[in-house]
Amino acid sequence: MNGKLLFLGKADIKSLDIHVEEIIKAIEKGFIDISDGNTELPHKPSIHPRPDCFLRALPGYLKGIDLAGIKWVSAYPTNRQKGLPIVSGLILLNDPQTGLPLSLMEGNWITAWRTAAVSAVAAKHLAVKESATLAICGAGVQGKTHLAALSTVLPHLQRVKIFDPDPAALELFLQQEATAYPDLDLQGVPSAQDAFCKAQVVVTAAPMMSKPLAIIREKNLEPGMLLLPVDLDSYFAASAFKACRTFFSDDTDQLLWLKNQGRFAHVEKIAGDYSQLLSGQIKGRQDNNDCIMAISVGIAMGDLVTAGLIYNRARDRNVGVWLDL
Ligand SMILES: NC(=O)c1ccc[n+]([C@@H]2O[C@H](COP(=O)([O-])OP(=O)(O)OC[C@H]3O[C@@H](n4cnc5c(N)ncnc54)[C@H](O)[C@@H]3O)[C@@H](O)[C@H]2O)c1
């Protein structure tokens, strides 16, 4: 609509019933577009108004679906003590033809689901096929969306072990998710080490701190594990990184940039990124005994394809509020 912008709040977005399978499919296609050179995804500039906190811009243009936009996202681990979300953000879509703003939408729902969908893409291609036990460290937003996304790509999943140092968060997670997944055996466990024990796929989704927690060591890893850290390198000690056979990432350039900044210091054997994996340019898992780490640094493609699904459905269903520019 000329001179207007569609505003979509979280309740609008939730009302559209977009399923995680749709997001996973759109993101898989997005990774193929990246490998075909059909995207423009520049480096993400950040500002750091407080220690351990950042605001970051994730711009992108996806030529295949002609979608342009930007996410402006913050991560403030210190918000936890204030009862506020750690992550917050907005996404702006622009008309690629004119550059004019098309839609502004709440970004947390998108961040929550696109991150889990990217992990699910990695798990689909890198987990041992028969993986039956999933561990989740961090029973927050990412813990929940990862359970939803990973349960769709791990057909043999039976058991989920969850650790969170906050007993209330753990209790709430178990209560809510037990009803949502009656066929899965959900177990709260008292430590991260207990969660890792005998798991085949592990998600770490705790607050990221500038000084890594380094809770998990080589002795806590199992043969054939797929490690999916969404909280950067917070969880793992040097010995755990060294025990990994290969590393993959949603964005190798960004991973290397982070390494230059002093994160992921012990990551050495980077095989490549998911776009190369999905297009067959690089091989995935070679041996069911290899421990593999697939690192999600966060990629604008995931945000934009999800925002595109939302925008199209909101227009079809007349959801949201049109604002004058
Ligand atoms: N890679 C990405 O693209 C991406 C995207 C979004 C969020 N994140 C990161 O994912 C992490 C989780 O985000 P969220 O939105 O789920 O936050 P959240 O606040 O909803 O949940 C975090 C949970 O971690 C728990 N926790 C604290 N210390 C822990 C520990 N040592 N071990 C296990 N759990 C612990 C907290 O009690 C809380 O329940 C954050 O680090 C966030 O920055 C990454």
Per-residue pLDDT tens over the stretch 182-231: 999 999 999 999 999 999 999 999 988 777 788 999 999 999 999 999 99
Residues with Cβ < 8 Å from 36, sequence gap 6 or more? 64, 279
Q: Is the pLDDT of residue 253 over 80?
A: yes
pLDDT confidence of 87, banded at 50, 70, 90?
confident
248 touches 272 (CB < 8 A):
yes
Q: State whether 128 and 233 are in the same domain.
A: yes
In 40-166, alpha helices (H): 108-126, 141-153
Q: What is the mean pLDDT of the chain?
A: 95
324 touches 7 (CB < 8 A):
no
- State which residues form the domain around 89: 4-110+301-324
**CA–CA dist 97, 159 (Å, integer):** 49
Which pLDDT value is given to residue 212?
Answer: 79
Domain count, the chain: 2
Ligand 1 atom closest to 232 (CA)? 1
Ligand 1 center from residue 219 Cα (angstroms): 24
**CA–CA dist 6, 95 (Å, integer):** 12
Q: State whether 34 and 168 are in the same domain.
A: no
Q: State whether 263 and 151 are in the same domain.
A: yes
Percent of the chain residues past pLDDT 90, beyond the cut: 90
Q: State whether 56 and 84 are in the same domain.
A: yes
Q: Which two structure tokens, joined as six digits, stand for 92? A: 């702006």
Q: Is the pLDDT of residue 267 over 90?
A: yes
Please indicate, yes or no, if residue 13 is contained in any of the structural domains.
yes
Which pLDDT value is given to residue 86?
Answer: 85
Query: In the predicted model, what is the mean pLDDT of residues 118-139?
Result: 98
Q: Is the pLDDT of residue 52 over 90?
A: no
Q: State whether 133 and 97 are in the same domain.
A: no
Q: Is the pLDDT of residue 80 over 90?
A: no
Q: Is 306 left (phi over 0), alpha (psi -120 to 50) or beta?
A: alpha
Ligand 1: list residues with CB < 6 Å: 75, 80, 86-87, 111, 115, 137-143, 163-166, 169, 192, 205-208, 213, 230-231, 296-298
Q: For residue 259, what is the domain's CATH number? A: 3.40.50.720
Mutate to test the pocket of ligand 1, among 106, 141, 210, 274 (most ligand atoms within 8 A of CB): 141
Q: Which two structure tokens, joined as six digits, stand for 62? A: 């996806």
Q: State whether 140 and 285 are in the same domain.
A: yes
In the chain, alpha helices (H): 10-15, 20-35, 108-126, 141-153, 167-180, 192-196, 238-243, 252-260, 274-278, 300-317
Which pLDDT value is given to residue 108?
Answer: 95
Q: Which two structure tokens, joined as six digits, stand for 264? A: 């992921």
Q: Which has the minimum average pLDDT: 157-171, 255-269, 303-317?
A: 255-269
Please indicate, yes or no, if residue 117 is contained in any of the structural domains.
no
**CA–CA dist 58, 267 (Å, integer):** 24
Please give the residue that has the higher pLDDT: either 274 or 268: 274
Q: State whether 99 and 199 are in the same domain.
A: no
277 touches 252 (CB < 8 A):
no
Please give the residue that has the higher pLDDT: either 112 or 261: 112
Which pLDDT value is given to residue 261?
Answer: 87
Ligand 1 center from residue 272 Cα (angstroms): 25
Ligand 1 atom closest to 230 (CA)? 1
Report which protein residue has its CA nearest ligand 1's atom 36: 138
pLDDT confidence of 13, banded at 50, 70, 90?
very high
308 touches 25 (CB < 8 A):
no
Ligand 1 atom closest to 80 (CA)? 19
